[in-house]
Structure 1
Amino acid sequence: MSFQIDQGLFKFDFIDNHAILGVPISADSKEVRKRYLKIARRLHPDSLTTNSDAVKHQATQLLSKLVNPAYEKLSKDQDLAEYMLLLKLKGQYAAQQQAQNNLQSEAAKSLMTAGNLDHAYTTALKELAEKQYETPDKIMAIIGQLSELNLAYLMRKEGTSGSAAGRPIATSSAPPAPAATAKPGSAPPKAAPAAAKAAPEPAHESVAEQYCRRAEGFMAKKNYAKAILELRDALQVEPNSSRIHSLLGMVYFQQNQVTMARIHFDQALKYNPQDETALKGKRAIDQKTGGGKKEKEKKSGGGLFGLFGGKKK
């Protein structure tokens, strides 16, 4: 059975585990487990006694190759932290690439211009999730539609290309207002104030920001070597940028270079203690390394006594 999906986040070489389970991106561990158990029961052979052997085989494949791995990824704190960092990157990259122009489902297209983003997202997702695993030949299509919803939501939340985060992204521009004409014998219209003649030109993107955007593109494609080169060039321009350091931390974290990642996350927080990416990165590192150290200390007898072979008194 083919599990090829070419919609939403899957188009960016990313396995959308939230779409596979039909849960929102903000779902907590309790919600994820509840949904997983519901799907597992639906795909269990005991629930398919009246179905053909082909359908039973398909259900088994779905459970073992899609549903179980998705649940495992979203239920482990360490895996989830890394996964959510990548998810954030994908949303930013998709917004930069104006991926909203490639959305196929009407639900995702509508979400790009919805006023109440969170409500529209959860409502549309719930409608799709209710029928996600009901009809075998529509399962993959619905997962694709769910992933498009997630992609649209991320672009609205994480997008930085021309729109404020969460603001509806315009799909067409309004026609220009007709020019005012003077009636015969009337005074000519007054010239509009200079400030009202034209909107201020958008600020030009800095050289460092251009490096960062290129680096994010390479990161989304998992080309970490080129991403590092771009970010190092960016540091030459703005050595005290928390954004650049936090991006470098993410690149090193993705390559399991925890020490280097920690250094850059610390630098980012030095320049901006509220840097969200750096804070998430530090938490991910702590989850990855902190638990193991504590266990070793306990088993060794604790502290310096355990290190040098002494006994606790």
Structure 2
Amino acid sequence: MQLEQGLFKLDFSDYHAVLGIPVSADAKVVRKRYLTIARKLHPDSLSTASTADKQRASELLSKWVNPAYEVLSQDKPSTEHQLVLKLKGQTLGRATKPPEVDSEPAKQLIKAPHVDAAYRQAVNALASEQYDKLDSVLQIIGQLSELNMMYLYRTASSAAASQRSGVTPKAQASPTSPTATPAAPPPKSGTAPPPPRRSQSTILDSYINRAQEHEQSQDYGQAVLEMREAIKTYPQSARCHSYLASLYLKTGQVTMARVHAKRALEITPDNELAKTIQTRLDRAGGASGKSGTTAKGSDKSSGGFFGLFGGKKKS
């Protein structure tokens, strides 16, 4: 199935737009929505449809809906996809102005006072008719993709503004958060003063040291998990991103290695490890990268998937 005029060819597949669900949807929502779509596209539901419509429904299900469900319903692929969304949101949040969009729902979301409620309402409205008319499915997916892009921009911009104003986000203020630093009570008379808190660099070193121990034992999965936890606490650490990129490269997850190497270089352009990884990826995968094929063999733009975000529609 060819991409229709007015759709996007971007860096990542927008699986949430394909299923018509918010980017924060959990596994139960993913499965329920998939079953609803699968029933609509099943041959039994299209008994009176034309042969062309039956073929179109079959292609939508096999090339778009099933792959999206396969990623979002499995823990590891879903977690990796969420990480990609998070990094993309951070990139959008650093922009000086909103991304350019063409669909009316996304334009409305730019100025909505309550972004979460407005976003969910807009997604639900589009999803309610997404697969009713097969000839308009791709257009609606494109509108949902723009909504997702604008939502990530709004939430990332809000978080960045809070940091600049000195307001600590709720997640960081949580008592269980690794970055929470509640004030210690004054020492009682005659007792020794409490030991000094560990510095951020010491905490970061402990993450990396544990990851290196797992790496030496060739337990790369645990090493990756350790560094992903580190990035939750230190999202602006080029050291974290470059080391995680090297771990992903060792496990053959080229797409994730490229994402984190790129992020490390955005933070610190002269990061040697990230530059080395980027060079290796460019040399080894340049041909496949140009053709749009990811490490898992799925096509980014021409094989039936939307990219996640990007520029304006082509006329």
Structure 2-normalised TM-score?
Answer: 0.53
Q: Distance in 1 between matches of 2:145 and 2:234?
A: 35
Residue 26 of structure 1 deviates from its aligned partner by: 1.5
Partner secondary structure for residue 58 of structure 2: helix
CA 1:148/1:80 → structure 2, altered by over 3 Å: closer, same or farther? same
CA–CA separation in structure 2 for the residues paired with 1:104 and 1:141: 12
Partners of 1:36 and 1:53 in 2: how far apart?
Answer: 23
For 1:113, the equivalent position in structure 2 comes to 111
Number of the residue aligned with 2:46: 48
Matching residue of 1:29: 27
Counterpart residue number, 2:36: 38
1:123 alignment counterpart: 121
- Residue in structure 2 matching 1:141, options 139, 142, 145: 139
* Residue aligning to 2:100: 102
1:213 paired residue number: none
1:62 matched residue in structure 2: 60
Q: RMSD of aligned C-alpha atoms?
A: 4.0
Cα shift at 1:51: 1.2
What is the match of residue 150 of structure 1?
148
Q: How far, CA to CA, are the matches of 2:220 and 2:5 in structure 1?
A: 31
CA distance in 2, matches of 1:241, 1:37: 43
Change (3 A) 1:146 1:5: farther
After superposition, give the CA deviation of every residue in 1:247-267 in whole Å (9 maximum; x if it has no partner).
x99xx9xxx965664564576
Change over 3 Å in CA distance of 1:164–1:6 after alignment to 2: farther
Aligned to 1:220: none
Q: Do the aligned partners of 1:111 and 1:117 also contact (CA within 8 Å) in 2?
A: yes
**For residues 92 and 5 of structure 1, do their structure 2 counterparts lie closer, same or farther at Cα, with a shift above 3 Å needed?**
farther
Q: Identify if the C-alpha distance between structure 1 residues 5 and 14 changes in structure 2 by more than 3 Å, giving closer, same or farther.
A: farther
Q: Please give the alpha-carbon distance, in whole angstroms, between the structure 1 residues aligned to 2:43 and 2:143.
A: 26
Query: Do the aligned residues in 2 keep the contact of 1:96 with 1:161 (CA within 8 Å)?
Result: no
Distance 1:269 1:22 in 2: 27
Q: Which amino acid aligns with 2:157?
A: G
Structure 2 unaligned runs (5+)? 167-200, 252-315
Distance 2:9 2:55 in 1: 27
CA 1:259–1:266 in structure 2 vs 1: closer, same or farther (change >3 Å)? Answer: same
Specify the alignment match of 2:69 in structure 1.
71
Secondary structure in 2 matching 1:93: helix
Relative to 1, partners in 2 of residues 1:139 and 1:5: Cα closer, same or farther, differing over 3 Å?
Answer: same
Matched residue of 2:98: which SS? helix
Q: Tell me if the contact between 1:125 and 1:146 (Cα under 8 Å) persists in the aligned partners.
A: yes
CA shift digits 1:106-131 (9 cap, x unpaired): 21111122111111011111110001
**Partner Cα separation in structure 1 for residue 76 and residue 57 of structure 2:** 29
C-alpha distance in structure 2 between counterparts of 1:111 and 1:240, whole Å: 39
Q: Which amino acid aligns with 2:21?
A: V
1:115 and 1:267, CA in 2 relative to 1: closer, same or farther beyond 3 A? closer
SS of residue in 2 equivalent to 1:159: helix
Contact 2:99/2:150, CA 8 A, preserved across alignment: no
Percent identity over paired residues: 43
Alpha carbons 1:105, 1:145 under 8 Å: kept: yes
Distance in 2 between residues matched to 1:50 and 1:135, nearest whole Å: 14
Question: SS in structure 1 opposite 2:143?
Answer: helix
Cα distance between partner residues in 2 of 1:2 and 1:54: 15
Distance 2:232 2:29 in 1: 32
| Alpha carbons of structure 1 residues 47 and 266: separation in structure 2 relative to 1, 3 Å | closer
Structure 1: 5+ residue runs without aligned partners? 166-200, 204-237, 289-313
Query: 1:89 is aligned with what amino acid?
Result: L
> C-alpha displacement at 1:60, in angstroms?
0.3
